[in-house]
Amino acid sequence: MRSEEEEQTPNPNPNFIVRPSRIKHMLQILMESHVQVSLVFDNQLECTSRLLDVSTNELILDQLNNRAAHLKMLPGTVIQVNAKHHAVPFNFSSTITGTLHDGSYLMAMPEKIYHPQKRSFFRVPIENIEKYKFTAAIQFSENLISGYVYDVSFGGICIAVYSNSYVKKGSILTPASMTLKDGSTIQLDLTVCSVKKSPLEGFTRVGCEFLNLASQEKREIHKFITACERERAKK
């Protein structure tokens, strides 16, 4: 079992995802988001497909409409897969391992994914965010902010805020309260790093870093992240 120190250690290169469980997790997100992926062959031939399934050891890609490309999808063929998720590059290379009766393709799980993060810690997206309420006061003002935890990392959280808010980059949120998986809450302080409206999602994303997180709260955050990752890995 990994120690707490290993769990909280940031990826030495935040531009790449290398841990197998996180590679699988991110590919599942790509699949569930129905993101179109671009396949690039060694002769620069390029066509589009999408992920149909993600398992522990392999992926399933949808059949290609381009016949020339389809004929190249042979076992042993190495292809580059490029995509974007929330405007962030999501690129990897892997090997075709076979085809299925419906014309789709089996591909080996990649060893790493190029997915540059603005934060040095890997972010875990939260499912059913309405379960995880967040409230805080904005320091040196009478304004409050409320919403739900959208994603979490060992370095901070992103909050989905549905109402108008006066929060801005550099604001200090103190005191803040966050609901955990068991329904309990923890108190913490945060620094706002980014504020981005997301019209398609219908809310504003407020990215925050933990500020002087106490040991007990740090342990609770680590437990919360581990539980969220395990929940995603079961799917």
Domain parsing of the chain, residue ranges:
4-114, 124-233
Average pLDDT, the chain: 85
Q: Is the pLDDT of residue 100 over 60?
A: yes
Which of the four pLDDT bands, split at 50, 70 and 90, describes residue 13? low
Which DSSP string do the residues of 143-208 spell out, in sequence order? -EEEEEEEEE-SSEEEEEE-S-----TT-EEEEEEEE-TTS-EEEEEEEEEEEEEETTTTEEEEEE
Q: Quick one: 124-233 is in which CATH superfamily? A: predicted glycosyltransferase like domains (2.40.10.220)
Q: Is the pLDDT of residue 136 over 90?
A: yes
Query: Residue 89 has what pLDDT?
Result: 86
Average the pLDDT over 93-121 and give the result: 86
Query: Residue 77 has what pLDDT?
Result: 92
Q: Is the pLDDT of residue 185 over 60?
A: yes
Query: Residue 133 has what pLDDT?
Result: 94
Write the pLDDT tens digit of every residue in 140-176: 888 899 999 999 988 899 999 987 778 888 999 999 9
Quickly name the fold that domain 4-114 has.
Pnp Oxidase; Chain A (2.30.110)
Question: How many whole angstroms separate alpha carbon 193 and alpha carbon 209?
Answer: 7
Q: Is the pLDDT of residue 2 over 50?
A: no
Average the pLDDT over 202-231 and give the result: 87
Owner of token pair 């120190």: 5
Q: Is the pLDDT of residue 10 over 70?
A: no
Query: Residue 167 has what pLDDT?
Result: 87
Q: Residues with Cβ < 8 Å from 69, sequence gap 6 or more?
A: 39, 41, 45, 47
Q: What is the SS3 assignment for 105?
A: strand
**Most confidently modeled range among 16-30, 94-108, 157-171, 212-226:** 94-108
Among residues of the chain, what percentage have pLDDT more than 90? 43
Helix (H) or strand (E) holding 71: helix 67-72
Average the pLDDT over 190-201 and give the result: 86
Query: Residue 21 has what pLDDT?
Result: 84
Write the pLDDT tens digit of every residue in 21-78: 888 888 988 898 888 899 998 767 889 999 999 998 999 999 999 888 999 999 999 9
Q: Using the 8-state DSSP alphabet, how is residue 89 labeled?
A: E
